[in-house]
Amino acid sequence: MKVLVLGNGGREHALVWKLRQSPRVAKLYCAPGNGGIADEAECLPVDLKNLDSIVAVGAQVRPDLTVVGPELPLTLGVVDEFSRRGWPAFGPTKAAAQLEASKSFAKEFLQRHRIPTAPYAICDSVEEVRAALAHFHAPVVVKADGLAAGKGVVIAVSKEEAAGVAAEMFSGKMVGEAGLRVVLEECLKGDELSFLVLSDGERVAPLVAAQDHKRVGDGDTGPNTGGMGAYSTQNIIDDKMRDWLVHHIACPVVEGMKAEGAEFKGVLYCGLMMTARGPMVLEFNCRFGDPETQPILMRLESDLVDALEASIAGRVSEGDFKWSRDASVCVVMASGGYPGTFEVGKKIMGLDEAGAVDGVKVFHAGTSKRDGSFYTAGGRVLGVSARAPDLQAAVERAYRACEKIRFDGAHYRKDIAARAMKK
Ligand code: AMP
Ligand code: GLY
């Protein structure tokens, strides 16, 4: 069969790498892809912000299966358009993707269905923010309602700061239209968990849990990023917790969406805070996480195509995934300056040596290839990933590989999974 992956990040490289292992895949395309993906799939140019451009790629490939990586094409309705043309596509419809595209929609949905989440207020003006702040204690989380590529959430230490951040969001200068509505939220404390499930609109099958590292600096310091690294192990959560999350969070979401006429198919990514009062939903994503997908897929032993097709066909069951008991980790190497401004076009060296380390796979995110060499082309450049029988060994392998890679300005966190190993 012909499979098309949409996207150009480390997540899409991991999807391509895993899909290629399926005996059912005869031809693999990625649009637009990146330097590293081009070694494993045929890359086609596309503008992922433009639905017509994506449909044109579909018409060219006529895929038997399309896997959408990033949220933007999903919220534009790529699954609706492809399905209408008879091209099976994995992921939620535009209506169901609202769970990620609008934080106010998600919060009101959670409240309607009594799914645990932080107390909140939805505001459309600075005056509303000032009035609502009376009901909060600092610190207060200020969120842009719409998609902001990880830059739409600020934890304000004081109410004054919260009002200032909200004013900046409303001005449109901070995150554009995404910030014209703002959600205020109580700040929750605890460990974060990325809990992803595969859904067919009715049933869910959980993926192995993972933990992301959102802040740019060691010890969770500095600004938020798209994610600087992630790991997955057998014991991030136990079976009891997994079942609780399935029955009290994932299933109610899927049932609620169906009841409201927007059946959710695809990967439902529940971003959770494990608080002293129990797990609470921070956000939903309507897709695979990046970088969580890299360690998660490194542990997947069954055929990914079968699972994705089960979601489309409405026959998801718990047995869709077979997982390795190994641990896995992904360390993101980023461009100097990321998540702020950064330069691109730096030559990357040492990739072959890094890839030769036992159990290591280097996923490309922001890279391009010219004359046989790789160059940086984005903020997050590489996801250096490793699998091993235990977490410590996986972490050692990943960092051994990182040390072999060089490019101007490269930086990466040195403490991915460190807190888990201490426990
Ligand atoms: P979100 O895009 O909503 O997941 O927010 C991005 C990040 O901001 C999360 O991964 C958390 O690290 C942090 N965050 C979001 N909401 C809260 C909250 N209510 N309390 C504490 N931290 C939060
Ligand atoms: N790693 C967080 C995300 O994919 O949104």
Would you state the pLDDT for residue 40?
Answer: 98
Q: How far apart are CA 337 and CA 30, in angstroms?
A: 28
> Which residue's alpha carbon is at the smallest distance from atom 16 of ligand 1?
282
In this structure, the residue with its CA closest to atom 6 of ligand 1 is 153
Of all atoms in ligand 2, which is nearest to the CA of residue 11?
A: 4
Q: Is the pTM of this model over 0.85?
A: yes
Residues with CB under 6 A from ligand 1: 118, 141, 143, 153, 155, 185, 187-188, 192, 214, 224, 271, 282-283
pLDDT tens digits, residue range 159-215?
999 999 999 999 999 999 999 999 999 999 999 999 999 999 999 999 999 999 999
For the stretch 304-322, pLDDT in tens is 999 999 999 999 998 889 9
Instruction: Domains for the chain: give ranges and CATH numbers.
Output: 2-90 (3.40.50.20), 125-180 (3.30.1490.20), 191-320 (3.30.470.20), 327-422 (3.90.600.10)
Q: Which ligand is nearest to the CA of 230?
A: 2
Residue with CA closest to ligand 1 atom 13:
153
Q: How far is the CA of 60 from the centre of ligand 2 (A)?
A: 30
- The confidence score (pLDDT) of residue 303 equals 97
Distance CA 239, CA 339 (A): 36
pLDDT of residue 318: 83
Nearest CA to ligand 1 atom 5: 153
Q: What does the alpha-carbon distance between residue 333 and residue 350 come to, in Å, rounded to a whole number?
A: 13
Full DSSP string of 104-170 = HHHHHHHHHTT--B--EEEESSHHHHHHHHTT--SSEEEEESS--TT-SEEEESSHHHHHHHHHHHH
Residue 289 has pLDDT above 90, yes or no: yes
| Degrees, nearest 5: CA angle 103-310-316 | 70
Give the number of other Cβ atoms within 10 Å of residue 79's Cβ.
Answer: 26
> From the CA of 69, which ligand is nearest?
2
**Mean pLDDT (whole number) for 3-27:** 98
